Each structure stands twice: as structure tokens, then as C-alpha cells.
Structure 1
Amino acid sequence: MTMIDNFNLDSIRFLVFDPKIHILPKMQLKQSNGEDPLEVQSYYESIIKGNSFNNELLYVIKYKTETIGFFCIASATVEPDFANVDNPITQGKNSLIRALLISKIGIDQNYRCFGLGKYILQYCIGLAINLKEIEKFDIVLFRTTKSLAQKIYCLKYNFKMIKGDEKLVWVYKKI
């Protein structure tokens, strides 16, 4: 990894992964405490080994010429089974909900805390809005840790939290 002196978000690019073009480097994607509750590290290592995941579109995050992270998106249909949550999306609906699912987000530990997550979310929300007529997306949806949902995604970015377990929850934003 290169030293990060003057990180410049204008040098960030999201590129659709092409195994013929992109060589994926080893990255440290686990939390700083070594935990990996969302299994991002093993998922990424599986991609490096050449495994592909059907129905997902993988993006690599480039900073200048260096690959510093990735994220995967997919079109999903979810059931409005949020019985424990007063959910405005499903009120009065018995139909399924169309979602742009962000299945994984991984940012190398050396490049965290520069606001990359915000730009990934903005990109995915913009993509969902642009594809709304074709895909009929109602929400952007992803799984995260409960602490990040409470401290960042719900407070800063106005995502709604769907109750999960002690560590992991789903968050969504209506399109």
C-alpha cells in the first residue's frame, strides 16, 4: 500500500469488475479488531480465487491506480415481512418490494474514514433512482452491523433500520 498523505476523493473511481482487466490485490477488509461479522474478507478472497457470484455486479474501487475496495449490487425482491417494525414502505401493501441490494462492501483498512462509504451509498442510490423505471426499485437495502446502523447510516444518511439480531441488522432507504 502507498502512504496516504493528501487523500483526494476526486481520484476515486468505481469500475465494473472485469477479470480480464482487473487484478485484485490482497486487502485487509476485516474490522480493525479482527472480526468479520459480515464475512466480507472471505467473500473477497473467494472472488480472488475466481469464484463468481451469479446475479451480482461487482465494482472495484480505484484510488488513482490502486484498488482499495469493492462493492457488489444485485436486484432483489423482498417480502414485506417486517412485523416488528412500523414500516411505511409496506403499509397498505401485500406485494413484494423491489430492492437494489448492496450485498457486500469492503474497503481496505488503510483507506477507511475518508468518506468512501458515503460515496458508495450515493452512487447506489443514484443508480437505483436512474433504474427505477426499468427495475421498479422501491428501496436500497443492505446488511450492516447494528452499531454502524445506529451511529452512521440511520443518523447521518436517514436509512431506516429493520430489527435484526444482536450484531447484524438490515437498513433501507426508500427511493
Structure 2
Amino acid sequence: MARETIRLWLRAMNPLKLPRGMVEAQRSARAMVFGLAIALVVGLIPTWWMFTSGWFETAMNGEYARMGLSSDQIAMQHEFMTAIWPWAMGAAAAFTVLLYSVLAAVQWRAMTRAIPIIMLALVAYSLVANMGMRLLGTMPTPELPFWIVVATWPAAIVSAVIYVASLQGAMMLHRLRSEP
């Protein structure tokens, strides 16, 4: 029973296997929830690392030096950042978890086309923006540990593939619902 359920969900997450009916279209549209969960974890891992490894502080010190701040101004900025960043990062993480939870709940219930389209657009934007900023040298680029790269890139690709499959299911579901 469990093996069959897993097989059905894996089929629903495969964009090369189009849904064959209403139930498969619903399952495929709901598979978006798994993609969102993967994307949430994948997004939080490097963020957590950047703020716990000291990379962010090093990047900020580089920015202060480029701005030509005096030692008093740097000390003030450092104190400000030390006071505000734990709260800002906590609030940002909580907001992200809440947002992804709401998106997952809405997608599970409504099986809409909008959420997969928005997430695919964000994936595309992220790729283009990050590549552009790295090529232009306008973004401080962290040298991520190998374990983060190995964990996040494949997971990000898997979540994007699930978004495509979910969009296919939601589009088929929309067509089936609108047929007389």
C-alpha cells in the first residue's frame, strides 16, 4: 500500500508523465507542496550558514571599507548590525516559513495554476539575477562549503521539476473543470 502511494506521488512529480485523468491531475497539482517544502529547506540552509559562519560580517566589513567609513562609524555600524541582525534574520525566517506554509495550504486546497507559475518565474528570475550579478561583480559571492552546494543545487533542481509537473497537473485540472 505505502509503496504504491509513493509510486503514485513520484509519477505525479514527473513532468514527463502527463496526468491521465482528474485524480492524477489533482495529485500532480498538489505535488507542488513537496516542491515548496524542498525549496524552503534549500533556501534556509545557505542563509543560516552565511550568518553563522561569519561570512556576512566579513562581507559587511568589506563594504564599510569601500564606503570609506571612519573607525568610529565602522564601530557604530558593527554595533547596529550586531543588535539588529538576529531579530531581522529570525523575522525573515519566520515570514518565509509562514509564506511557504500559506502557499502550500492554498495549493493543496485550490490546486491553482498561479502558484506554480509564480514559483517558476521566481526560479528563472533568481538564475538570471544571480548569474548577472556574479558576472558583473556587483554581488559579494560567498564561497559556500561543498556540502551546501551538494545539498542545495540538486534539491533546487528537483523542486523546479516538481513545479513544472504541478503546473501541468493544474493546467489539465483547469481544462477538465471547464469542460461541459
Q: Which structure shows the higher strand fraction?
A: 1
Name the structure with the higher helix share: 2
Q: TM-score category by the smaller chain?
A: under 0.3
Task: With the length of structure 1 as denominator, give the TM-score of the two structures.
Answer: 0.26
State the TM-score, normalizing by the size of structure 2. Answer: 0.25
